[in-house]
Structure 1
């Protein structure tokens, strides 16, 4: 089976936000790097997906220079870099065409935010007929405020709020939602042997 590693939004934009201090997986670069090395060794396609919001003036605006892989990660020559403007990696990109052209039947998902762009991409990929492997320990997320929380709070206030959903809860919920329905859950160690 042809496989592709899809690295979603592991980009400098996130490190420029105040909530990076509360990221669930500060070692994500090392985990993703291991997946990338293993995929390259097997001859699998590696696709880099970056979220972009042109003209917004925020950290996802390409004009500011943060829409690039986090330091320590770098696409190799010939590896596609796909720019998206939606949560999933398919809707506003040519990702499906790339995968089809390379004969890919299985996608391996890693990246930032576990429950948002990564989970949404996994669900869409499954609906499109791909076998999906979701590498939870090669994803990262941030605490999520309750929908009725006041806006403009500091990170400390968000973290102190008992209604804030913590990263462990977010990650567990994503695994429950995906496993056996949309994806197989795997670890970096299982996929790399190290």
Structure 2
């Protein structure tokens, strides 16, 4: 049975892209996916983080970056944690749309992207993690407590290539290989 997909675009906001690793490449990959999803009639759901002190709603930093702004009729879900399902209407929205598979993109790889991807599996959705469609924050020279950004992205892609959830299909694909027509 074919999957009914939805494209999830997580936290691609001005303030976050200002601290992101390879933001232009990530935005371009997601923009291409958005165009293909829209052409195929696949729902696009934009997740937008808000925090009263760090990312207040309505501010320039809170806004979705140019090129990924939600279009007319697209769903925007406000969230305030790394889990896009927690205390939001995301699951209800996806169920109402008849979605069985989520195509996950966005910021930040090891926080909101990872948490939302795992929660999607726990909510019984199949998963496509777009290997070049998620990114993380810039890392200070000399390392610090985080691994380098490219390594973190590669690490999470590899985890999702091997993670297993009973009854769920999980794939990691480059944006160019995501096919919304199947």
User: Do they superpose with TM above 0.5?
Assistant: yes
The equivalences for 1:92-171 within 5 A come to 92-143=87-138, 158-161=140-143, 164-171=146-153
TM-score by length of 2: 0.87
Q: Which has the larger radius of gyration?
A: 1
Rounded Cα–Cα distance in structure 1 between residues aligned with 2:13 and 2:111: 15
Q: Is the 8 A contact 2:10 2:107 kept in 1?
A: yes
For 1:154-194, what per-residue CA distance to the aligned partner results, in whole angstroms no more than 9, with x for missing partners? xxxx312475410121012212222232531011110159x
The Cα of 1:30 is off from its aligned counterpart by: 1.1
Instruction: Decide which of 168, 177, 180 is 1:190's aligned counterpart.
Output: 177
Rounded Cα–Cα distance in structure 2 between residues aligned with 1:46 and 1:163: 34
Rounded Cα–Cα distance in structure 2 between residues aligned with 1:129 and 1:120: 14
The equivalences for 1:8-19 within 5 A come to 8-16=10-18, 19=19
Structure 1: give runs of 5+ residues left out of the alignment.
Answer: 145-157
Rounded Cα–Cα distance in structure 2 between residues aligned with 1:162 and 1:65: 29
Give the structure 1 partner of residue 167 of structure 2: none
Rounded Cα–Cα distance in structure 2 between residues aligned with 1:163 and 1:50: 27
Structure 2: give runs of 5+ residues left out of the alignment.
Answer: 165-169
Considering only aligned residues, what root-mean-square deviation do their CA atoms show, in Å? 1.9
Q: Which moved more, 1:166-175 or 1:91-100?
A: 166-175
SS in 2 for 1:179: helix
Instruction: Decide which of 155, 169, 178 is 1:173's aligned counterpart.
Output: 155
